[in-house]
Structure 1
Amino acid sequence: MKLIISSPFSAIKLFSFTLLAFSLVSPNSSRANDLYETALINYENRQANNDIETLNKALLEKKVKLDFHSRRGFLDALLKELDIPINSQTLIFSKTSFHRKQIYPSNPRALYFNDEIYVGWVPGTKLLEIAISDPELGAVFYTLEQKQNETIQFKRDDSCLSCHVSSRTLNEPGFFIRSVFPDESGEPISRLGSDTIDHSSDIGSRWGGWYVTGKKTEIHRGNTIYTKDSKRIAQPHKALTTHDLNKFFNPDKYLAQSSDIEALMVLEHQVQMHNIFTQRNFQAIKMIEAEKSINRALGESGRRPLTEKILHNASDQILEYMLFTDEIPLRAIEGNANFKEEFAKDKISGKNGDSLYKLSFKERISELPCSWLIYSQAFKGLQPDLKKIVLKQLEQILTAEDIPINFIHLRKSRSRIHQLLLETLDGYPAS
């Protein structure tokens, strides 16, 4: 590559570009930590564009009405309107959220979700908490007042970023699942630490501070209260999974009688997938803009080699997680809330019935190890150059004669995934 430094201004631009480029190569770079605050992203001042904003407009124009329940407020109607299944319910009794003062082992926080949206509810509180993966902004947070008013509106709440931008969310607006060691009030015992969980986490480290129901499981931390004398242990001695929440508290005030282990595992996979989409999308957006700037300064055009390297690095990160390369092997997981059946109902499928929404939990979460979030708005909203590289590399992984060693787990399923994506995913394969 020929470089001509024609002025001090050009030299400064080139130097800035080089610093930015090298910072974006590493996902842990401190220089990448504030991408959402840049003018390119403009998180706090930019109008969100997602299903909650669409619903807000419909509510304002009286095109949609949310019925009010005497005990649960707008929760029932909201889940129905957003097509969020009731049996996605998971229950957190640790004091690790906005309503921590109202959360106890006898009054856990309920979390409901679909592919894009997460709704939190604590009995007796005045606000519903809603979070959504916005294709342009990453995680965006809202509250809904539990009060009958003439005009019902969601309020965007950026104060949530005080917790939801950290290393747990890859330093961009995102989501995270924590496993803690809760005491009898639900307060995490800080000296014992905590773990951030995704599909690569050992089962023995999961679900501290959560209720877990199901028929079959491996040993985990759920359903357990710890004391001030407790020691942090890598692996509990037994699993306290149960099909009956009445052993711990009266669940009748909740929509479901479960905190299903299958729902928990799906939740853990997709929150981190959303985070990776956001982080790598922001990096690509800023990298492309920096490339344009340096090309203008040097009077050049075209793709710079370093930009290409960084985009491919971002694509590698997306695909490794999307294709479950580091997923922990499972032995026997079975829920008790028919979540698996509900999750796949009426979802995208191929001509032969294959679907990325078909869950297994025998050796892996998914029958076909490719994330269903490839159909999400977050994936569709990836920076176009980055998305094209992702789709091109994905096709190569699924069709090449030799399988890369880190994708060897796809050897029995990759032809089915390839055929399914040909039938169901716009833009695949990338031309």
Structure 2
Amino acid sequence: MKRQFIATLARCLAIATFSLGADVLEAGMPFEEAPINYNETKARDAVMKVKYRMAKGDLELKYDEQFGYLPALLKALEVPLSSQTLVFAKTSLQLRYISPRNPRALYFADDVYVGWVRGSNIMELSTVDPRLGAVFYAVEQNPDKPRILRKTYECLQCHASTLTQGVPGHSIRSVFPKPDGTPNLRAGTYRTDHKSPLEERWGGWYVTGTHGDQKHMGNAFLRGTEDARDLDTRRSMNVTSLADRFPTAAWMSPHSDLIALMVLEHQAQMHNFVTRANFDGRRALYEEKIINKMLKEPNRPRSESIKRRFDNAADRVLRYMLFSGEAALTGRLRGTSGFEDEFPKQGPRDCQGRSLRDFDLTKRVFKYPCSYVIYTESFDALPAPVAERIYRGLYDVLTGKDQSEEFAHLSPEARQAILEILLATKKGLPDYWTGKATQVAPLLPAGS
């Protein structure tokens, strides 16, 4: 009788946890609890590596009189200056310093983000840890010695919400800003990623670059009419200089590059999908172990509900990483900072010189629409059952077996090119990938 009760309870738990994993994608995940233990787990990210080098005496961050530790940290974290984007909307914890005359500068690399505000004694750092997702730090701008402190509760109020799929993550928002940078929340906001139409992007951001007759919300403010969405866009399109809007010489770069913004939006959301899949997969494995222990059947066959949780986590990553639903471009985009040339040089290339970081920028962002985030430690840290399903789904799409509508944007030529690039550049692919694939020559080094 007792065993029957335990079996019934275990089945109920399995059904309940499956429902949570499948249907409540953006609900808050209890990541402070096992198996994630977010606040108790020591991060192993790029910032912690910098702190370790500093503690050993291998790295000294030099203080700059104008920018504090910003130049030194960009160098130590290998974050390109060309990635600078500028947000003038008051949408961060440092909102009292931020205005159209004093925008917040953001810089990024593949798994690290740096925020700097002129006049503040705090710099913001955030990373994507392979097992924790986004981790947040504050850098005290003390000329004598920098202090890098991990932050949790303050940052997670916004960075672990529906905007980030319920896990610690990053989000790019587009708002309707008043002339002082205050967002008119009555008008609503947009969460921006590569699916967002251009006309809904960059409200509250400065944008430098050319985009033809395509419209966006950047560089503009509300007119002050009764219409909560009446942006004055007369001087906001195809802007290549911001010198008439704020003293650009007081920033490390005068740019807020259009192409950098496009990449940032894709990357932030891609990392959120990977983190959510990581947490969902680990939680499913953890709960499966508990159920099997309750039943005293450690080798019990995996239930269909647990399998479906892995399927759902993998499917979401697969669709996003292959740019399903990407908003189409109708004209050529060009930036101003050199990011368009610098970014593609950072990734590996196949024997034909092709890279997942190559741009298209005419009809879509990337020439070969498969996310370069596949090369990150976070992607490689996905739980095995989730990773296996992603790789199988990816292989089926690229070899043409999966012809479903959500991947119809991928031509046979694009699928073949992505397949060949991954075979040449991605370590750890399943053995079956090489069985029927075109022979690929050795990998060319990054930047060649």
* TM-score of the aligned structures, taking structure 1 as reference length: 0.94
Which residue among 251, 258, 261 is the counterpart of 1:261?
Answer: 258
Does the CA-based 8 Å contact 2:220-2:231 persist in structure 1?
A: no
In the TM superposition, what whole-angstrom CA distance separates every residue of 1:311-335 from its partner, at most 9, and x where no partner exists?
A: 1111111010000011000012111
Which one of the candidate residues 178, 191, 208 is aligned to 2:186? 191
Amino acid at match of 1:365: V
RMSD: 1.9
Per the alignment, residue 305 of structure 2 pairs with 306
Query: 124, 148, 152: which one pairs with 1:154?
Result: 148
Q: Shift of the alpha carbon at 1:186?
A: 0.8
The aligned runs of 1:287-298 (5 Å cut-off) are: 287-298=284-295
Task: Indicate the residue corresponding to 2:222 in structure 1.
Answer: 226
SS class of match (1:360): coil
Matched-pair contact (CA < 8 Å) for 1:189–1:228: no
Q: CA deviation at 1:189?
A: 1.3
What does residue 211 of structure 1 align with? Answer: 206
The 5-angstrom pairing of residues 26-41 of structure 1 reads: 26-28=23-25, 30=27, 33-41=28-36
Deviation at 1:199, TM superposition (A): 0.6
Equivalent pairs, count: 425
- In structure 2, C-alpha distance between the alignment counterparts of 1:365 and 1:273, rounded to whole Å: 14
Aligned pairs (5 A) from 1:19-418:
19-28=16-25, 30=27, 33-150=28-145, 152-158=146-152, 159-217=154-212, 218-233=214-229, 239-298=236-295, 299=297, 300-332=299-331, 333-401=333-401, 403-411=403-411, 412-418=413-419
Counterpart contact for 1:215–1:243, Cα < 8 Å: yes
Instruction: Give the 3-state SS of the residue equivalent to 1:119 in structure 2.
Output: strand
Query: Do the aligned partners of residues 339 and 29 (structure 1) sit closer, same or farther apart at CA in structure 2, a change above 3 Å counting?
Result: closer
Asked if structure 2 preserves the Cα contact closer than 8 Å seen for 1:221 and 1:236, the reply is no
Aligned residue in 2 for 1:419: 420
Compared CA separation, residues 430 and 138, structure 1 to 2 (3 A): farther
Measured after TM superposition, the shift of residue 234 of structure 1 is: 9.1
Measured after TM superposition, the shift of residue 370 of structure 1 is 0.3
Report if the CA contact (8 A) 2:221-2:233 is conserved. no
Question: Distance between the aligned counterparts of 1:198 and 1:281, measured in 2?
Answer: 20
Deviation per residue, 1:132-177 (Å, 9 max, x gap)? 1111111100011111234x34110112001111111101111111
Structure 1 residue 273: deviation in Å?
0.5
Q: Is the 8 A contact 1:223 1:241 kept in 2?
A: no
**Alignment partner of 1:378: what SS?**
helix
- Structure 1 counterpart of 2:317, which letter? I
The offset of 1:246, in angstroms, is 1.1
Contact 1:23 1:29 in 2 (8 A): no
In structure 2, give the amino acid aligned to 1:429. P
Are the aligned partners of 1:422 and 1:429 in contact in 2 as well (CA < 8 Å)?
A: no
2:369 is paired with a residue whose SS is: coil
SS in 2 for 1:60: helix
- Counterparts of 2:194 and 2:397, CA distance in 1: 21
Maintained 8 Å contact 1:340/1:358: no
Counterpart Cα distance in 2 of 1:57 and 1:199? 35
Amino acid at match of 1:127: I
- Contact preservation (8 Å) 2:176, 2:204: yes
Distance in 2 separating the partners of 1:341 and 1:143: 31
Partner of 2:436: none
Q: CA deviation at 1:17?
A: 2.2
Q: Separation in 1 of the partners of 2:248 and 2:273? A: 35
CA distance in 2, matches of 1:407, 1:236: 38
TM-score, reference length from structure 2: 0.91
> Distance between the aligned counterparts of 1:233 and 1:200, measured in 2?
21
Deviation at 1:52, TM superposition (A): 0.7
Give the drift of 1:232: 4.0
Q: Retained in 2: the 8 A contact 1:315–1:386?
A: yes
Aligned to 1:67, the other structure's residue is in SS state coil
In structure 2, what is the Cα distance between the partners aligned to 1:126 and 1:255? 17
Paired letter, 1:155: L
Residues 261-298 of structure 1, C-alpha deviation per residue, up to 9 Å, x if partnerless? 10001001010001111112101111112122223333
SS in 1 for 2:408: helix
Q: Extract unaligned runs of 5+ from structure 2.
A: 433-448
How many Å separate the matches in 2 of 1:62 and 1:419? 43
Aligned pair in 2 of structure 1 residues 21, 5: CA closer, same or farther (>3 Å)?
Answer: farther
User: 1:374-422, CA deviations, whole angstroms, 9 ceiling, x for partnerless residues?
Assistant: 1112101111211111111111110134522211211231111101111
Aligned to 2:221, the other structure's residue is in SS state coil
AA partner of residue 250 (structure 1): P
Percent of aligned pairs with the same residue? 35
Tell me, in whole angstroms, the C-alpha distance in 2 between the residues paired with 1:99 and 1:35.
Answer: 27
